[in-house]
Structure 1
Amino acid sequence: MSSPEDEALALAAVDALTGQLALAPKPGLPDPRDLGARATRKDHCSLRWSAKALAPGLAAMAAAARRTGEPSPQLRAELGAIGRCTEHSVGLAGGGHRGALWALGLLVAAAALDPAARSEDVTATAKKIAAHRDRRVPRRPSRGSSVSAKYGAAGARGEARAGFPHVRRALAALAESRTAGAAEVEARLDALLTVMSTLQDTELLYTAGPLGLRHVQAGARGVLEAGGTATDAGREALLALDADLHARAWSPRGSAGLLAGALFVDALASSVSSRARAA
């Protein structure tokens, strides 16, 4: 049974995911502008609705971590079982968020194991959990695993087993943009572009191949090299990249899920700092 602390972690993770969804413009990704487009209204609305369906599963993952008390094979197996049930619930609510669920589930569990952990400790603990093999996972290959095998990309599992390097990169980009005076929306968009610029996104590899992936990475780097989204040149480059990816129907979904993970860890860090100041 989940505790108020478990539920608070789950809600923080859902808030991070809905915060990612609220950003605009996100190159090739659903955002609030879609609410004004008849053809895509259902897509974006259903993503916002189904994001809330993750909360019970994430709370159960946090509870499993507190009960287990360590990043053990047993915890990894429990998280996998809870995750598969949650995927089914999310599917009934509209679908989506599979990559975000994987990242957020591990990070929520890691945060539950040590509520006072710093950002780097949370990702390091998530790495320890992900290092264990889930022996109950269905043996049928997923699209992501097939693409990873074909192109040698790390994929979602590789990202987790490496300690979420792109979550850490996004956190660094958030801090840098905020320090430079960027508004919060601009800082978050810069963090998304930072992830896009280097991530071997299996969704993009599936739809666009290696050349398409490199095209997207170069476009993201171009926005950052122009000064980021807080500058006129960077904003112009962002809008051009957004139009290009929507025209090609290329979607960097892996980057979006990792940004949600970074926003969750960032919120945890703020909460820990607030508690420290209060003490």
Structure 2
Amino acid sequence: MSALIARNADLPLADWLADLAVDALIDEADLSPKPALVDRRGSGAHSDLHLGLMHASALSLWPCFKQMAEAALEHGEIGQPLREALGRIGREGEAAMLVTTGGVNTHRGAIWALGLLVAAVALEPDNLDSQTIALRAARIALIDDRAAAIGDSHGAQVSRRYGARGAREEAQLGFPAVLGHGLPQLSRSRAAGAGEQNARLDALLAIMTTLADTCVLWRAGLEGLTAMQQGARAVLDAGGSASLAGRRQLRALDARLLQLNASPGGAADLLAACLFLDKTGSL
């Protein structure tokens, strides 16, 4: 069944896509137990975040995602005008998010990733293959936004220091951590009967095994990144989140990342992107 058939016929496409994006963010936040991340157990490695704030932040971004979809529908093609419209809407959405959260950065990376994917779906809503959507998003991401301020974000600093890909480059490459690791693991774990929550945890862990997460690098350097990647791999090698041995490894990973104050926020944003693509591709 196509996603367009599955949605309410009275619901505009832009509204439907905004719903899916916000649902992906809330599903990611609720997923538990995530190593060192905000979830239903607590705040993870974050002293300034909690689950209610993550929900409020996600809901505040609904108008942003709707406007991004509408911009794609209005422009109808990938090019400079669409790229700069998305950049402007994204900055306005980030400002609204920061008002909601009292200045706490909850979803800056997710605005970038999900905004591109929402626009990519809106451009060709009858072609909902995940790889095709990701490639359309990458084509948009490769265009420079001439109105964007030149800043020195944590991600930019980490990228220079360690030569790591940030959120911008991940999108420009077509979300390889999602397409190559997150979505395939989600399918494998479901097929193995892991259950939906465990399958999503396994997808997050699969993303973590290879991602040079700039959030982790900023907080804990290469030691933190190595702990994240090797610990995530150990969970999957032990049988994944649905197995007793895997759960033991997951607890060990959580404890180690908390000790290092290393929160894999980049992986969490990409899990939200993974859940969004999974939903659009399966309805």
TM-score band w.r.t. shorter chain: over 0.9
Partner Cα distance (1:267, 1:241) in 2 = 28
Runs of 4+ displaced beyond 3 Å: 39-42
Partner Cα distance (2:186, 2:78) in 1 = 28
The range that moved more, 169-178 or 254-263, is 169-178
Partner Cα distance (2:40, 2:82) in 1 = 37
Partner Cα distance (1:213, 1:140) in 2 = 24
Per-residue deviation at 1:41?
9.1
- Equivalent pair of 1:110/1:126 in contact (CA under 8 Å): yes
Partner Cα distance (1:246, 1:182) in 2 = 26
Q: 2:167 aligns with which of 149, 152, 156?
A: 156
Q: Which runs of 5+ in 2 are unaligned?
A: 1-10
Q: 1:256 aligns with which of 268, 271, 279?
A: 268
What residue in structure 2 maps to residue 231 of structure 1? 243
Q: Spell out, residue by residue over 1:212-242, the C-alpha distance to the aligned partner (whole angstroms, 9 max, x if none).
A: 2112110010001101011110011111111
What residue in structure 1 maps to residue 71 of structure 2? 64
- Equivalent pair of 1:34/1:41 in contact (CA under 8 Å): no
Q: Spell out, residue by residue over 1:82-122, the C-alpha distance to the aligned partner (whole angstroms, 9 max, x if none).
A: 00000000011114101111100000000101112211110
Q: Spell out, residue by residue over 1:48-69, the C-alpha distance to the aligned partner (whole angstroms, 9 max, x if none).
A: 1111011000000000011111
Amino acid at match of 2:148: V
Q: How many residues align?
A: 267
Q: 1:31 aligns with which of 29, 35, 39?
A: 39
- Equivalent pair of 1:34/1:40 in contact (CA under 8 Å): no
Identity %: 47
Partner Cα distance (1:176, 1:124) in 2 = 23
What residue in structure 2 maps to residue 86 of structure 1? 93
Amino acid at match of 1:196: M
- Equivalent pair of 1:27/1:242 in contact (CA under 8 Å): yes
Would you tell me which structure has more helix in proportion to its own residues?
1
Q: 2:191 aligns with which of 179, 198, 203?
A: 179
Partner Cα distance (2:47, 2:214) in 1 = 23
Q: Which runs of 5+ in 1 are unaligned?
A: 272-279
Partner Cα distance (2:259, 2:192) in 1 = 32
Q: 2:154 aligns with which of 131, 143, 161?
A: 143
1:160-239 correspondence to structure 2 within 5 Å: 160-168=171-179, 169-239=181-251
- Equivalent pair of 2:224/2:260 in contact (CA under 8 Å): no
Amino acid at match of 2:91: R
Q: Secondary structure at the match of 1:74?
A: helix
Partner Cα distance (2:85, 2:152) in 1 = 20
- Equivalent pair of 2:227/2:257 in contact (CA under 8 Å): no
- Equivalent pair of 1:61/1:79 in contact (CA under 8 Å): yes
Matched, 1:54 2:61: yes
